């Protein structure tokens, strides 16, 4: 059958199902309003035309509701709303079902998929088992990591918990609930989803590792893991490219950015936080507006500026730009934080005769260490992976030349996969690992901190 036919069939199915469910849900709402709770009546809602008739005839049981309430449920506005929700959910379900069914179908034909599915199944079943046993233990009163780990042990784990005396009062029924169908099913789906997500998340990472340990220069690596893992790429990186120069360049920019930037911004934010002066609101708004400008707009100007002062091709000069660009955003952040320091502290200090400068240095600064750290860290991290500025200002000079020692990491890594002169996929992967792993580890360790900081910037202002 032609493609068009397939498509039309799908569409027809979709519409029919949508109409059916909209009808069913509306009927259920009617039942609810009228006061009928039991399953017997609920089932009637799922029978198309017969159900409509029957339900309409039912009397209203609940006292607060009358005819007009019921009629409201049949109004177009209400139907459209329901229809929208139903269509959305149905769309998502279809979106999920189609690939799933395809994979299912394929698993009968293709070995690879079969093995993948089976391994997935085993993992999920194992997890379900572990979860159930852990819950069993929890119901008995044993909570904690140790017991969760205990639950990992197949078979024996269950008996371990069975033997233990219950610490809490639990009925047999609630224990039985642990292995109820609903429970197991939910566990199954949740763990399946998690496992699949983990696979999806980890796959590209694995790929990069594989690419770094193989030695492909210009071919695209096609397998997930190379046949002969080696360190060639790393050696190449150190010996034949200016990789470590790039590292130094980028590090230099980051450090300068962090130190000088934080110093300049802190003073300014203090003033905004603590004092009201003429033009403060205008100033704040102006800063916000500045932030809204695409940083790109100044690109040409920066190019000419650097050109004039002979700074083109000097990586460290880029820090000027990063500092300038981050003034608005970070000023806002620090100001918000400082505003939350109670003004009473200031006032009591002023009564004691401290000057403004003293208040700033001895009282405010120590309290602001958390946010200052955050700003310093983000100003350090910022330049590492910026590509736009370095590529234009370091590589596009009026008097061209191919000296690669001007580059920063972002530019160099980009060139490994996009520039015909420097094409080398393995080097790209190796460089990405060297640069990416420390940053990733840092982010993972400080994740809570960083996320809070960003959220603080957005909400508390």
Partner 1 sequence: MKLKSILKAILSFFIWGLGQLLNRQYLKALFFFAVFVLFIGIELGTSKYFYKEDYEHQLAYEKISGNNFDDEWYHHLLGYYVKQFRENNKTYPAFEEYLVLNDVSIIEIGSGRFTWSGEENITEASFIEWLASDIEKTSPETYTNIITDDVIEKDEFLNNIVDYKLLKTKEIIYYDEDNDIYYYENIGRSIEEEEREYIETNFFTEKENPAIINKVTGFLKYEKSGEIYQYNEKYYLKVKVNGDDKLALLNLDVLSFIDYPTTPPLAVQKNIYGPLYGKGDDFFEHYRPGLIHNGVRLQYKETDFMKMFRTAMVTTFNLPGNEFDGTDYTKLMIKVYFGLNPEVREDFLDGYDHFFYDRAGLFTRGYWAVSTLGITKKVDYRSFHALDDIMIGTEKDGVSSSLKGLIAISPSVPLQGHVSTMLLLEGLIGVILSLFFFIFLFWSVKDAYVTSNRKIKKEEIESDRKYFKNIWDKSFEYIVLSPALFVLAFISIMPIAFGFIIAFTNISGNESMMDTFDWVGLKNFVKIFNFASGLGDSFGRAFWRVLSWTVVWAVFSTFTVFFGGFIQALILNSEKVVFRKLWRTILILPWAIPALLSQMVFSVMFKEKGVVNQLLNSIGISDILKNIGILGKPYHSLSKVAQFFYLGPENIQWFSNPHNATFVRATLIVVNIWLGFPYFMALMTGVMTAIDKTLYEAADIDGATGFQKITKITMPLVLYSTAPILIMTFSGNFNNFGVIYFITGGGPNTGSPHRGFAGDTDILISWMYKLTVDYSVYNMASVFSVLIFFFVGSITAWNLSRTRAFQED
Footprint (CB under 8 A) of partner 1, residues 279-308: 280-281, 284-285, 288-294, 296-305, 307-308
User: Is residue 83 close enough to count as binding partner 1 by CB under 8 A?
Assistant: no
Q: Which is nearer to partner 1, 66 or 345 (CB)?
A: 345
User: Is residue 200 close enough to count as binding partner 1 by CB under 8 A?
Assistant: yes
**What are the DSSP E strand ranges found in 211-251?**
none
User: Would you state the structure tokens that stand for residue 132, as one six-digit string?
Assistant: 């159930």
User: Is residue 264 close enough to count as binding partner 1 by CB under 8 A?
Assistant: yes
Contact (CB, 8 A) for 407 and 248? no
User: Would you state the structure tokens that stand for residue 1, as one six-digit string?
Assistant: 């059958």
User: Is residue 123 close enough to count as binding partner 1 by CB under 8 A?
Assistant: no
Best CA proximity match to 30, nearest among 1, 61, 9: 61
Q: Pick from 11, 19, 198, 345: which binds partner 1 (CB under 8 A)?
A: 198
Torsion of CA 18, 19, 20, 23, to 10 degrees: 120
Footprint (CB under 8 A) of partner 1, residues 324-363: 324-325, 327-328, 331, 336, 339, 356
Residue 50 CB, shortest distance to partner 1, in Å, is 27
Q: Pick from 38, 68, 171, 276: which binds partner 1 (CB under 8 A)?
A: 276
User: Would you state the structure tokens that stand for residue 265, as one six-digit string?
Assistant: 């911004």
Residue 246: which residues within 8 A CB-CB, separation 6 or more? 405, 407, 408, 409, 411, 412
Contact (CB, 8 A) for 368 and 340? no
Phi, psi of 60 (to 5 degrees): -85, 125
Footprint (CB under 8 A) of partner 1, residues 359-388: 384-385, 387-388
Q: Which stretch binds partner 1 (CB under 8 A): 43-51, 63-71, 267-275, 370-378?
A: 267-275
Taking CB under 8 A as the rule, which mask of x and - marks residues 173-192 in contact with partner 1? ----------x--xx--xx-
User: Is residue 39 close enough to count as binding partner 1 by CB under 8 A?
Assistant: no
Q: What is the gyration radius of the CA atoms in the chain, in angstroms? A: 32
Footprint (CB under 8 A) of partner 1, residues 406-445: 410, 413-414, 417-418, 425, 428, 432, 435-436, 439-441, 443-444
The Cα–Cα gap between 417 and 405 comes to 18
User: Is residue 11 close enough to count as binding partner 1 by CB under 8 A?
Assistant: no
Footprint (CB under 8 A) of partner 1, residues 143-162: 148, 151
User: Is residue 131 close enough to count as binding partner 1 by CB under 8 A?
Assistant: yes
Within 10 angstroms of residue 380's Cβ, the number of other Cβ atoms is 20
**What are the DSSP E strand ranges found in 180-317?**
none
Residue 53 CB, shortest distance to partner 1, in Å, is 28
Ramachandran category for residue 423: left, alpha or beta (phi over 0 → left; psi -120 to 50 → alpha): beta
Taking CB under 8 A as the rule, which mask of x and - marks residues 222-241 in contact with partner 1? xxx-----------------
Q: Residues, the chain, total?
A: 461
Q: Which stretch binds partner 1 (CB under 8 A): 25-33, 237-245, 320-328, 362-370?
A: 320-328
């Amino acid at each position: 059958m032609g493609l068009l036919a397939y498509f039309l069939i799908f569409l027809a199915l979709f519409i029919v199902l949508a109409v059916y469910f909209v009808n069913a849900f509306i009927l259920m709402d009617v039942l609810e309003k009228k006061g009928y709770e039991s399953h017997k009546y609920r089932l009637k809602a799922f029978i198309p035309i017969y159900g409509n008739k029957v339900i309409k005839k039912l009397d209203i049981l609940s006292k607060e509701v009358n005819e007009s309430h019921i009629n409201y449920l049949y109004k177009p506005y209400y139907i459209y709303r329901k229809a929208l929700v139903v269509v959305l959910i149905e769309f998502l379900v279809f979106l999920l079902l189609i690939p799933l069914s395809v994979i299912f179908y394929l698993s009968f034909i293709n070995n690879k998929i079969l093995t993948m599915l089976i391994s997935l199944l085993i993992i999920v079943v194992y997890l379900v088992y572990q979860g159930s046993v852990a819950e069993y233990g929890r119901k008995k009163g044993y909570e904690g990591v140790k017991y969760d780990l205990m639950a990992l042990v197949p078979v024996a784990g269950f008996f371990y918990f069975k033997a233990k005396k219950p610490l809490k009062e639990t009925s047999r029924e609630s224990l039985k609930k642990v292995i109820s169908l609903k429970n197991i099913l939910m566990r199954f789906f949740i763990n399946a989803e998690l496992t699949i997500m983990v696979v999806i998340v980890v796959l590209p990472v694995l790929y990069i590792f594989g690419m770094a340990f193989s030695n492909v220069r210009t071919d695209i690596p096609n397998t997930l893991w190379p046949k002969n893992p080696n360190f060639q790429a790393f050696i190449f990186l150190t010996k034949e490219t200016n990789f470590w120069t790039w590292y130094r360049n980028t590090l230099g920019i980051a450090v300068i950015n962090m130190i000088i930037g934080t110093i300049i911004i802190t003073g300014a934010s203090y003033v905004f936080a603590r004092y009201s002066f003429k033009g403060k609101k205008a100033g704040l708004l102006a800063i916000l507006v500045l932030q809204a400008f695409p940083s790109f707009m100044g690109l040409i100007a920066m190019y000419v500026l650097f050109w004039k002062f002979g700074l083109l091709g000097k990586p460290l000069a880029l820090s000027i730009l990063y500092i300038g660009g981050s003034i608005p955003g970070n000023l806002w952040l620090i100001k918000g934080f400082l505003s939350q320091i109670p003004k009473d502290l200031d006032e009591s200090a002023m009564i004691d005769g401290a000057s403004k400068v003293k208040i700033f240095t001895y009282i405010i600064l120590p309290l602001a260490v958390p946010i200052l750290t955050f700003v310093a860290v983000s100003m350090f991290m910022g330049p590492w992976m910026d590509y736009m500025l370095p590529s234009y200002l370091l590589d596009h000079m009026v008097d061209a030349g191919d000296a690669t020692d001007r580059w920063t990491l972002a530019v160099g890594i980009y060139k490994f996969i996009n520039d015909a002169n420097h094409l080398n996929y393995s080097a790209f992967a190796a460089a990405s690992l060297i640069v990416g792993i420390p940053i990733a580890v840092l982010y993972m360790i400080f994740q809570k901190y960083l996320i809070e900081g960003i959220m603080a910037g957005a909400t508390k202002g």
